[in-house]
Structure 1
Amino acid sequence: MGNRTSFSGRRAASGIGLIELMVALVLGLLITGAAISVFVSNRQTYRATENLGRVQESSRVAFELMARDVREAAGFPCARNLPLANVLENPTASWFTNWGDGVFGVDGAFALDNPANRVANTDAIELKSGESNGVTVTDHVPASAQFKVNTVNHDLNDGDIVMVCDYRQAAIVQVTNAQPGTNETVVHNPSGASTSPGNCTKGLGVPVSCTANGTPYTYGPNSTIVKLKSARWYIGTNPNGNRALYRQVMRRSGVAAVSVSEEVTEGVSNMQITYLLPGGASYVAAGGVGARWNEVLAARIELTLDSPEAVGVDGNVLQRTLVHTVTLRNRNS
């Protein structure tokens, strides 16, 4: 009886054998490996989804902002195809003072002020229009180059480039003296060094004569003055060495009009733009528009966007090509 009790105690106190331990370790490794595999797979899926979301966000920003400029191109407050007097000094010397067709595209380099960081073999577009809000002229005195406007809160400053128009003609001129908030008088004298590029004459009539008084023209009450805006859209290389969508704009710097490039969104590696002309069966590249830029009705913008990280097949970036067609509102109304 005593022997049986001793044998049972020894069997109860025995530990796990080597075989059981090895089996447990192998099972543990299998479970750990499976868990790691699931984690890595989920992490890769998350990264791919996150990068695809970034691509979609970049495309929304790019198309939304760019479409605004395209829709408003060639838009001016009075009427289309008015005779135009551009009295700026040497207006063809800068892209943002050479007002003509409202829209202009290139397959290669711009003839004037081509951005230094622009990527070769990508398209670019130049868009010009008047701002939607302006002020009303109450009186114009050509001899003293002065406009009276309907409010002291006109937001016109020295150096602003503006368009004044009625339903017979329009003129592009630089403001040489204005005091927003305190005075309703807006002056457009021949300015010399007081503004840049300055005005070559007081006269705002057609044809332009760059003499002291120029070609006379008086804008009557209810004429309109609006600020002008110029914008170029192109693909450039940013300071990080990555491709991005850029917007080059005209701005006032003190009393001078200058050109400034702004990065809009990173990851846009290519842009191709085609244009629709009246009666055209299909969209054509910039080279096919020729001298008919004043007839362009719409632009078809194709953007290629790359993901921030290389999370695609074989370690490549995710890439999407998206197309957006924008109608020029002022050519289709």
Structure 2
Amino acid sequence: MTSRRNHSRRARDIAGFGLIELMVALVLGLLITGAAISVFLSNRQTYRTTENLGRVQESARVAFELMSRDVREAGGFPCARNLPVGNVLENQAANWYTQWSGGIEGVDGAFANGNPANRVANTDAVELKSGATGGVTVTSHNATSAQFKVNTVNHDLHDGDIVMVCDYRQGSIVQVTNAQPGTNETVVHNPGGGVAVPGNCTKGLGVPVDCSNPLGTAYTYGVNSMVAKLHASRWYIGTNGNNNRALYRQSLRTVGGAATAVSEEVTEGVRDMQITYLLPGNAAYVNAGAVGARWNEVLAARIELTLESPEAVGTDGNPLQRTLVHTVSLRNRSS
């Protein structure tokens, strides 16, 4: 009798789970697995959102940092503020970078001269020019032979470079026609054709400019005058090779002795740019159309960028968008 009970107990012990028990275990396992997957997906979405938001903020930081440098220096001279400027470049109207209009000029629509082919319509843009920081010092200037002697052979000035020359009375925009950096301290600015394009209309660098004869308006820059490369750039929203909107910078370069404009993508994901400007006596910033002929009076620019995340991680299934604003004062016009 005892042996039979022990056998029955052993049979029950090795019988395993029944169907109902197995189904309950499977349901509990599925619930735990589902909860784990839900937590994983939630964390993954949070990570993607945070990562994309970080990329938007990084793009904004890069855009504002680089753009602010150009805006801050707009209209600046290596020597002094608000100097009269004589521009002796040939055919100035042909290219935006050969003109001088006070250092800053914005547009609500297309640029009047050389609108970039990939520019996005209905976005603002701005054109900026200044005497590059640094430069070299003049030790002597022979106006008749159109030659500067500078204080070092390591002047980094090349044939075709457009430069700004200045002292504390005036400034001149002129193109280098002959220079040998690393070898010779002489920098030549002869008129006419040759290696430099567009070239100079006269040797005379005085104000007002007279292009009617090769000697023009005579002016000799004295010792300690400055020669610096002209810094010219345009900032705009363009479409890149991936058919996405991006912030672009078009800048003045010298290629084979010719001045030319080169466009480079700064950061992707910038959907829109709107810029307003502060004029003396105004309580509010105004758009480019309201500035009119007063660009040489602009004190500051208010830049508004709308940025978009690379991925569609918003709660509505669309990319995240953020609009950020940065105000930049023009250094040479601040009190």
TM-score greater than 0.5 by the shorter chain: yes
For residues 225 and 129 of structure 2, what CA distance do their matches in structure 1 show? Answer: 20
Query: Does structure 1 conserve the Cα–Cα contact (< 8 Å) formed by 2:101 and 2:295?
Result: no
Say which of 313, 316, 320 aligns to 2:315. Answer: 313
Question: 1:273-284 counterparts in 2 under 5 A?
Answer: 273-284=275-286
For residues 92 and 80 of structure 1, what CA distance do their matches in structure 2 show? Answer: 25
For residues 6 and 182 of structure 2, what CA distance do their matches in structure 1 show? Answer: 108
How far residue 204 of structure 1 moved from its aligned partner, in angstroms, is 1.1
For residues 199 and 302 of structure 2, what CA distance do their matches in structure 1 show? Answer: 36
For residues 216 and 109 of structure 1, what CA distance do their matches in structure 2 show? Answer: 38
How far residue 9 of structure 1 moved from its aligned partner, in angstroms, is 2.5
Q: Name the counterpart of 1:147.
A: 148
How far residue 206 of structure 1 moved from its aligned partner, in angstroms, is 1.9
Q: Name the counterpart of 2:301.
A: 299
How far residue 11 of structure 1 moved from its aligned partner, in angstroms, is 2.0
For residues 286 and 271 of structure 1, what CA distance do their matches in structure 2 show? Answer: 13
Say which of 228, 248, 257 aligns to 1:246. Answer: 248
Query: Does structure 1 conserve the Cα–Cα contact (< 8 Å) formed by 2:86 and 2:206?
Result: yes
Query: Does structure 1 conserve the Cα–Cα contact (< 8 Å) formed by 2:159 and 2:195?
Result: no
SS at match of 1:127: strand
For residues 182 and 263 of structure 1, what CA distance do their matches in structure 2 show? Answer: 35
Q: Name the counterpart of 1:10.
A: 11
Question: 1:175-324 counterparts in 2 under 5 A?
Answer: 175-210=176-211, 211-324=213-326
Cα deviations by residue, 1:57-111 (Å, 9 ceiling, x for unpaired):
0000000000001111111022223222111101121100101210000000000
Name segments (4+ residues, structure 1) moved above 6 Å.
none
Instruction: Count how many residue pairs are aligned between Structure 1 and Structure 2.
Output: 333
Question: 1:54-69 counterparts in 2 under 5 A?
Answer: 54-69=55-70
Q: Name the counterpart of 1:80.
A: 81
For residues 10 and 100 of structure 1, what CA distance do their matches in structure 2 show? Answer: 101
SS at match of 1:148: strand
For residues 102 and 124 of structure 1, what CA distance do their matches in structure 2 show? Answer: 14
Normalised TM-score (structure 2): 0.97
For residues 247 and 296 of structure 2, what CA distance do their matches in structure 1 show? Answer: 25
For residues 14 and 84 of structure 1, what CA distance do their matches in structure 2 show? Answer: 102
For residues 230 and 293 of structure 1, what CA distance do their matches in structure 2 show? Answer: 16
For residues 289 and 151 of structure 2, what CA distance do their matches in structure 1 show? Answer: 45
Q: Name the counterpart of 1:332.
A: 334
Uncovered stretches (5+) of structure 2, i.e. residues with no partner: none
Q: Name the counterpart of 1:174.
A: 175
Cα deviations by residue, 1:272-322 (Å, 9 ceiling, x for unpaired):
000001110100011111111100000000000000000002211100000
Question: 1:112-127 counterparts in 2 under 5 A?
Answer: 112-127=113-128
For residues 80 and 283 of structure 1, what CA distance do their matches in structure 2 show? Answer: 23
How far residue 120 of structure 1 moved from its aligned partner, in angstroms, is 0.5
SS at match of 2:144: helix
How far residue 3 of structure 1 moved from its aligned partner, in angstroms, is 2.5
Query: Does structure 2 conserve the Cα–Cα contact (< 8 Å) formed by 1:163 and 1:172?
Result: yes
SS at match of 2:96: coil
For residues 14 and 171 of structure 1, what CA distance do their matches in structure 2 show? Answer: 102
For residues 290 and 6 of structure 1, what CA distance do their matches in structure 2 show? Answer: 106
For residues 83 and 7 of structure 2, what CA distance do their matches in structure 1 show? Answer: 117
SS at match of 1:132: coil
Cα deviations by residue, 1:156-176 (Å, 9 ceiling, x for unpaired):
111110111112221111001
**Which amino acid in the other structure matches residue 168 of structure 1?**
R
**Which amino acid in the other structure matches residue 10 of structure 2?**
G
Query: Does structure 2 conserve the Cα–Cα contact (< 8 Å) formed by 1:176 and 1:191?
Result: no
SS at match of 1:47: helix
Query: Does structure 2 conserve the Cα–Cα contact (< 8 Å) formed by 1:82 and 1:169?
Result: yes
Query: Does structure 2 conserve the Cα–Cα contact (< 8 Å) formed by 1:157 and 1:175?
Result: yes
Q: Name the counterpart of 1:128.
A: 129
For residues 81 and 314 of structure 1, what CA distance do their matches in structure 2 show? Answer: 52
Cα deviations by residue, 1:182-228 (Å, 9 ceiling, x for unpaired):
11111001140321011111111122222221121111112111111
SS at match of 2:283: coil
SS at match of 1:108: coil
- What percentage of residue pairs aligned between the two structures are identical? 77
